[in-house]
Amino acid sequence: MGRNAGHIAINVAAAVGAEAVITPEKPYDLNAIAQKMEQTKKSGKTHFIIVVAEGVGKTEYITRTLQDITGVESRATILGHVQRGGSPTCKDRMYASVMGSYAVDLLVEGKSNRLVAYKNGKFVDFDIDEDNEMSELFPGLFNILLERGGILSYDMKAVAEEFPVGGKNLAQFNINNLMLIPVSGSGGELTIIFGACNMKRRWESDVPLRQVSLSFFMALNHYEAHYELERLGRIDNLTGLLNRNSFSAALERLSSNKPKSFGCVYIDVNGLHEINNCLGHQAGDDMLKAVADALKRNFGDDGVYRIGGDEFVILSENKTETVISEKIKAVRYELKNQGYALSVGTAWKESFNRYDLIINEAEAKMRNDKRKFYCEGGAVRSSRSLDKQVEKMVLEKQDADAFLSVLAPEFKGVYFVDLDRDTVRHLYIPFYFEKILKETGDVFSKALLLYAARNVRPKYIEYFKSVCDYNGLKMKLSDNITPEFLYQKKDGSWLKLRILKFKNYGENSHETLWIFTDSESEIQN
């Protein structure tokens, strides 16, 4: 039916939930339709409806072609004149689909708590909570509506008796019959209420609005699934940052719309491989999320992207070079306090022809910063090995926070010390302290005294010795106190010593973990 007019086919397609509709008014692409079928198949759907208008013809050809492309068994059904009728009718289904679509559009626009209705030949919506005549119709009615799952009444006197205020208002607006259906979202929450009043036909059940609610529910779920797929295509699932797809889209936009100034920050997180190997991938994920959170806090108004495993890029538009530099300093400081380190490269131009050259410059600077990190000892720190006992401790999440600090590039020494035997096991011991240990026969307490005499500033030596006294340490550790103190070396640098106990620390084991790290002098001041 319809010949060269496709409006009947479009209405049929909407009513039955077809994947595609082919009409004479618009050229069609069977490859595109096949692609949509393949995408729909991934969501678990196993059957598809393609509506072809009468004026298009070539139904058998279309059927064979789609089957050849998709491999899905396809059959052509040529409809003759069919008897109309039934419950619900095609018009009922159409109204349900249109109202459901209308409701989804409202949600997309950010509008909620709306009542969708068909009034005076138009689909309209009302604000449920708005203090107007519509909200005054239903005082006390919503709880009952939710409890019963719907209301259908042709006896307004009975309604007025059960809901005196609401019934009075209904009569005031000349409402002589009423049908209301609450519609829940995918999470079970009340999303919207569909209603109809002064219906010309007497309905024995609320089937029509049930069809509306079902159509709306399906449309909403479809939209949510579509939005989630779209979000996953744009957002990095681990960190919540924009992903590489979004980064590529941003570059395309920059090609046609250049800002007044442009800056790029290229970041690589140091030590991800080592953390994954030593502490497990959960610890690595925690580090990446910490970096992402710091970047979002400081560059929230700029585009922040995770473009690879441990690589992040910030595209900063219309910001001064100073502002970008200060934000990077804040990020570095914040992450350093958490035991993480970054290799960073920045580039900024006030006037430019090619943004890609700025990004390449920032990446090159980051690579140089990373080489510098490894040349200054990062490679040694990152490539250290753990013995079986340490690996076991890490896997059991014992003192995991301490190991995160250990994995930071600023640590100066990490020692496993048995307070009973006065022995030390290697995790990371600098070369100069290895020499001291050899001089003292690997007796850790003697090595500490020799270290203090040679390296610690005189005013801190006695304090250093008192803190490192084994008997005092055992008492503090038994009381669940973590000894931690600052001292200054003869070269002017500040170090912090933190001593932790293993979880099996007790009568049979007094093994401890000693961590020496850099410290900022201003903390002491």
Chain mean position to CA 320: 29
pLDDT at position 405, please?
A: 44
Comma-separated ranges of CATH 3.40.50.460 domains in the chain: 7-70
Closest CA to 393 of 379, 381, 406: 406
Nearby residues of 203 by Cβ (< 8 Å), 6 or more positions away: 152, 179
Q: What is the largest CA-CA distance in the chain?
A: 105
Angstrom CA distances, 78 to 1, 49, 69, stand at 11, 13, 22
CATH topology of domain 244-382: Alpha-Beta Plaits (3.30.70)
Comma-separated ranges of CATH 3.30.450 domains in the chain: 90-232, 410-524
Across the range 80-108, mean pLDDT stands at 70
Comma-separated ranges of CATH 3.30.70.270 domains in the chain: 244-382
**Residues constituting the chain:** 525
Percent over 90 (pLDDT), the chain: 10
Axis crossing angle, helix 355-373 with helix 244-256, rounded to the nearest 10: 140
Strands (E), 234-364: 262-269, 303-306, 311-317, 342-349
pLDDT at position 453, please?
A: 92
User: How crowded is residue 183: how many other Cβ atoms within 10 Å of its Cβ?
Assistant: 21
Q: Which helix (H) or strand (E) holds 141?
A: helix 141-148
Residue 22 has pLDDT above 50, yes or no: yes
Higher pLDDT, 452 or 108: 452
**Structural tokens at position 120:** 């005076």
**Structural tokens at position 448:** 């500490």
| 62-76, 126-140, 368-382, 460-474 — most confident range | 460-474
What's domain 410-524's architecture? 2-Layer Sandwich (3.30)
Average pLDDT, the chain: 76
What is the amino acid identity at position 399? D
Percent over 70 (pLDDT), the chain: 74
Closest CA to 115 of 101, 105, 129: 129
Q: What span, in angstroms and rounded, lies between the C-alpha atoms of 136 and 151? A: 17
Across the range 476-492, mean pLDDT stands at 87
pLDDT at position 337, please?
A: 77
| 214-228, 280-294, 408-422 — most confident range | 280-294
Class of the 90-232 domain? Answer: alpha beta
Q: What span, in angstroms and rounded, lies between the C-alpha atoms of 330 and 306? A: 19
Q: With beta carbons less than 8 A apart as the criterion, state whether 67 and 74 touch.
A: yes
Question: Does the 7-70 domain belong in CATH 2.60.40.3140?
Answer: no
DSSP string, 18-45: -SEEE-TTS---HHHHHHHHHHHHHTT-
Q: With beta carbons less than 8 A apart as the criterion, state whether 166 and 159 touch.
A: yes
Q: Which helix (H) or strand (E) holds 179?
A: strand 178-184
Q: What span, in angstroms and rounded, lies between the C-alpha atoms of 299 and 316? A: 8
Q: What span, in angstroms and rounded, lies between the C-alpha atoms of 356 and 366? A: 15
Q: What span, in angstroms and rounded, lies between the C-alpha atoms of 16 and 97? A: 9
Q: How confident is the model at residue 122 (pLDDT cuts 50, 70, 90)?
A: confident
DSSP string, 32-92: HHHHHHHHHHHTT-----EEE-TTT--HHHHHHHHHHHH----------------SS-HHH
pLDDT at position 448, please?
A: 92
Q: What span, in angstroms and rounded, lies between the C-alpha atoms of 55 and 465? A: 97
| 88-97, 125-134, 145-154, 466-475 — most confident range | 466-475
Q: Model's pTM, two decimal places?
A: 0.39
Across the range 293-300, mean pLDDT stands at 89
Which of the residue ranges 83-87, 290-294, 427-431 would you say has the lowest mean pLDDT? 83-87
Q: How confident is the model at residue 300 (pLDDT cuts 50, 70, 90)?
A: confident
